[in-house]
Structure formats: structure tokens, C-alpha cells
Structure 1
Amino acid sequence: MADKSGVRPGGRSARIQAAVHQAVRELQQREAPGELTVPAIAALAGVTPSTLYRRWGDLAQLLSDVALERVRPDGEPRDTGAYRGDLRAWLEQYIDEMATEPGRAIVRDILGCAAPANAGKCAEFIRQQLDVIRDRALARGEAIVDSDTLIDLVVAPVVYRLLFSVSAPSVDHALGLLDNTLRAAFRRAG
């Protein structure tokens, strides 16, 4: 078996992935969702359809991978200097990005493939962002709420509305969930 530890990052594989992802994004801008095809993506990316099937298996997995790259955070959440402020700023940005029709389509694409790995990665991105906020607050000596509680009581209802509600979740509703969660947790902590 070949040792791949010396394989350099990037190279042809990275170029193909970048070209395919770019082709998907371009076609998503021009085509209706049902009109996107593997042959069209392959032609625009300059590869064969078999390359796409070999690497991604099917169109749903490819769309899920492209969507996952779009939700990957660019950096750490904004630091407002206070735990509650950091959480509010993160939640407002999350809803601003995800409550649009393109944002909602990204969530559907991530969940649209048979393999659940990308949904787990998406959840991990959220957890990482919340953990950064938590760690900053702990360093400042502030009381915090564990990330699982925030995911269960704030993020999950927002994602549910992204997926299943006719209207997108509002920032005010989400901030209300956050404030109720923090108030209840801090009251219990005494």
C-alpha cells in the first residue's frame, strides 16, 4: 500500500475540485435547481462526467459538498467584548446568511445527499463557532451556557424554520430564543 503522507496538498486533485465547485456555483446562478446536470457541470469544469461520478458518486453529493464549502466559516465570530453580545452578533449573521433563499437552498443541498457526513460537518462548524464564543467568555470570567444547550434551544429551532417553514426565521424570534435560553440557564445557576 502506498504511503500518501508525502502527497502534497493541492495539485491536480485540488484544481479539479476547485473547477468543479466553481462550475456548480456558476450553473446554480443560471439554471433552475432541477436543470443542473452532471454533464453540464463536467463540461463547464473541463472534466469528464465520469470524473464527477468517481469523486462524488452522484449529483446530490456534489451539491452537498459545494454547499458545505459555502457554509464553512471564514474566521472566528465577531468579538463584541461580552458573551451575550458575541452570541447575538453570531446569531444575527447566521440568520442574515441562511434565511435568504440561497441560504435555505444551501441547507437543503447539504441535507440532500444520502451520506450524512456533510450535515455532521455543518453542525461541527456551528459548534466550533459557539465554542470560540464560549472560550472567550470564560477567559473574561463570564458565566456561559454549554454549546449543546445553545444548539438544542436556539440553533435547532432556527434550522427547523429554515427547512420547513414557508417564511424564513426572523432575527427577532431567534434573539428571543437566545435571550430566553440565557435567562433560564443563568437563573438555574443562581
Structure 2
Amino acid sequence: MPPCFSGKTASKLTSKTSNYSIINEEPMKASKYLARFSKLVRNILDSSAAETITLEDEINTIENYLTLQKIRYPEMINFNVSVDDALDVEATLIPPMLAQPFIENAIEHGLKSKEVKGNIEVRFIKKNETLVLEIEDDGIGRHQAQENLKAHDPTHKSMATGITQERFNVLNRKKKRKIHLNIIDLKDESGEASGTKVVIEIPFEVI
């Protein structure tokens, strides 16, 4: 789990703005928030020790992560996670934490800079003998996100995508059938950036 996310999650509970603190003013909400965060931490710790996890566990981790982000940014995020009915989520195995870096990027760099609430769609689709994982947002797009980062910190270099690709390369060296990653810059009818779509194709493994 990203350290910055852990820190911001704690600050959500304890920081005070205009004399407001969620712990003091909404203890029931704070309790539910902490319970959700604890569950996410357990999911991630369990996953980090495993080479593969069930698709069901991955979906639960994603939903917990997105729910916490929505609590942090209630006016910024809508999300939906959809799963193809043809998928057996209890029997399908995948490497853990494939989606999280891209979901985090979508929120931190794609949606935070929007003037209106943004959307994230996470889809799990069965395509022949392949699991297709799609992460789509309607944020500001990669180019504008990079420009914003450079304006804020000219020395900034994004490492997340490169690190994730290297992880895929390591996984692919162990497998005959390879994991494929494709990042698509979405455009509207006028050719303006309208978001980003990440497509990860994962060969099936089943219990």
C-alpha cells in the first residue's frame, strides 16, 4: 500500500478543518472508515505474500480501496466495478495488485484536477482463455496530468507505470502465455482528451 495513502487515510480521521473532526463529530462513520481501512490492509498483507490470489480477493481489495477513496473525496469520485458473469471468481487465479497502481494514478492525476465529479470504471471480462481487466476514467488525460506535475515540480519523473511494466516483465519470464498491457488515451468528438483506459490481458489460471 502506498505510504501516502496510509498517511492521508489517518489524517482523514484526525485532521480538523473549521473545528471539524470526523472522530469527534461522526464517531460511527469513523468506526466504519477504520474497519474498512483495516480490512484493506489485511487484504494487501495477505496478497503480498502470495504469487497468485483468487479473482474474488482481487475484486474485494479493489472495492475496499475505491470505497476508502470515495470517503476521502466524496465530491470527486464515482466508481463502478463490474464482473463478467462467465467468470468464476472463486476459481480464477491472478497475480495480486495488478489494478491498484492504475486506479491510484487515475484518482491522483486524472480526477483530482477536474472541476466536476469524475468516474472510474473497473471491468473484469472473459475473452476466450484470457481475463481482460479494464480500468477507465474520464479524467484530464495523461498529457495534461504530466503538464500539471511538471508545473508543480519540474524535476518530477513518474515511476509507477515503468515499475508496473517491469513487474509484468518478471511475471512473463515465468509464463509461456504473457500478460499484455495497453494504455489508451481517450478523446472526445472534438479530439480533446477525455480520460484514460488501461487494458491488461491476463492468461487464465484456475484452481
TM-score normalised by the chain length of structure 2: 0.27
Flag the structure with higher helix content: 1
TM-score normalised by the chain length of structure 1: 0.29
Flag the structure with higher strand content: 2
Larger Rg computed on CA atoms: 1
